[in-house]
């Protein structure tokens, strides 16, 4: 039986997320995944950037590092290089990971450094009051895009796959059990694992765009996605406007920090 409180810093509660925010569902799935993998709390490090999702690092009882806006992957790369034996999990948001931190994301993927990156996508900047994100869909309103953006949003999974990540997946907060399985698979991949999680922001994105209550918004996720396995059997017209979920790409290749460690060990052996 999982005692989820064991993984929480109860002294940090109450948390600062809004009622109806989907990020707590992700946190639950993450902790269950860590529990099912039987990882010791001492060997897990959680690193995050700036934004609502990045606040999650403060609530969990591991070594945790709440960094600067957009840079958690760069900090995490230093940790993983220094201690390749640690399980390093990065929590970032769509603004943090794809806008200000986009460069770090593609380079972490290219290096295939052994980090598990959870990108919580709520399609808006929530912490600062609802400004446009690089994921805000065409036609959706934000405070800095009052008539909706004219910019095409990123498909983060395709971006990260192209950059070289060895594991790419997408999950939704509507399916917490599936999400947990995806997080387990992501952590198990030794290289760079990327998991985009569609979350919701009822306070800003939902309210601005008249998307109903939080439950309505979570239910709506299901309408917009098709599981990757099912998608393979469907004709293209049925996939129009849909996002794929599940494991989208998994092609293991040598992990950066371990490869480096191995190469210096060999160098040491030669020197002796």
Partner 1 sequence: MEKMTKPVQLLQGNAACARAAIAAGCRFYGGYPISPSSEIAETMAKLLPRVGGKFIQMEDEIASLAAVIGASLAGMKAMTATSGPGFSLMQEHIGFACYTEVPCVVVDVMRGGPSTGLPTSPSQADVMQARWGTHGDHPAIALCASSPGEVYELTVRAFNLAERLRTPVILLLDEVVAHMYEKVDLGRLAGLPVEDRRKPKGAPGKLEAYAAGEDGVPAMAPFGEGYRYHVTGLAHDSRGYPTQDPAVVETTQRRLQRKVDRCRKEIVSYELLQCEDAEVIVFAYGIVAAAARQAVRQARQRGIRAGLFRAITLWPFPGEELAAAVKQAKRIVVAEMNLGQMTGEVERAVGKKKTVKTCLKANGEAITPDEIFSALQAEDACHA
Binding site for partner 1 (CB under 8 A): 9, 11-12, 41-43, 45, 47, 57-58, 61-68, 71, 74-83, 85-86, 103-104, 107, 260, 263-264, 267-268, 271
H or E stretch covering 122: none
In the complex, minimum distance from the CB of residue 208 to partner 1, in angstroms, rounded to a whole number: 27
The answer to whether 246 and 227 are in contact (CB under 8 A) is yes
Strands 243-250 and 167-172: antiparallel
The distance of Cα 245 from the centroid of its chain, to the nearest Å, equals: 13
The distance of Cα 81 from the centroid of its chain, to the nearest Å, equals: 21
In the complex, minimum distance from the CB of residue 42 to partner 1, in angstroms, rounded to a whole number: 4
In the complex, minimum distance from the CB of residue 62 to partner 1, in angstroms, rounded to a whole number: 6
23 vs 181 by CB, closer to partner 1: 23
106 vs 243 by CB, closer to partner 1: 106
In the complex, minimum distance from the CB of residue 217 to partner 1, in angstroms, rounded to a whole number: 28
Tokens representing 237 are 């017209």
In the complex, minimum distance from the CB of residue 122 to partner 1, in angstroms, rounded to a whole number: 21
Tokens representing 11 are 């002294």
The three-class DSSP label of residue 258 is: helix
109 vs 244 by CB, closer to partner 1: 109
Of 94, 102, 160, 175, the closest CA to residue 132 belongs to: 94
147 vs 270 by CB, closer to partner 1: 270
Could you tell me which residues come within 8 angstroms of residue 11 by beta carbon, excluding any fewer than 6 positions away? Answer: none
CA–CA separation, 134 and 154 (whole Å): 6
75 vs 154 by CB, closer to partner 1: 75
């Amino acid at each position: 039986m999982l005692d989820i409180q064991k993984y929480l810093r109860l002294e940090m509660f109450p948390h600062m997320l809004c009622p109806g925010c989907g990020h707590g569902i992700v946190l639950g799935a993450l902790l269950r995944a860590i529990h099912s993998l039987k990882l010791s709390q001492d060997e897990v490090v959680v690193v995050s950037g700036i934004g609502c999702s990045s606040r999650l690092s403060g609530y969990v009882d591991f070594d945790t590092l709440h960094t600067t806006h957009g840079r958690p992957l760069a900090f995490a790369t230093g940790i993983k290089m220094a201690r390749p034996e640690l399980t390093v999990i990065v929590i970032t948001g769509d603004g943090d990971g794809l806008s200000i931190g986009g460069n770090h994301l593609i380079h972490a993927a290219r290096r295939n450094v052994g980090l598990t990156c959870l990108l919580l996508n709520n399609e808006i900047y929530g912490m600062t009051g609802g400004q446009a994100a690089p994921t805000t869909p065409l036609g959706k309103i934000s405070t800095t895009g009052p008539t909706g953006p004219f910019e095409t949003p990123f498909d983060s999974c395709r971006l990260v796959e192209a950059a070289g990540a060895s594991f790419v997946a997408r999950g939704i907060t509507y399916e917490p059990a599936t999400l947990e399985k995806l997080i387990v698979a992501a952590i198990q991949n030794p290289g760079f694992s990327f998991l985009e999680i569609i979350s919701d922001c009822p306070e800003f994105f939902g309210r601005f765009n008249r998307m109903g209550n939080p439950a309505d918004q979570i239910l709506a996720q299901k309408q917009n996605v098709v599981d990757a396995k099912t998608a393979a059997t469907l004709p293209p017209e049925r996939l129009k406007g849909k996002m794929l979920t599940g494991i989208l790409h998994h092609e293991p290749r040598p992990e950066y920090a371990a490869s480096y460690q191995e190469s210096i060990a060999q160098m040491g052996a030669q020197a002796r």
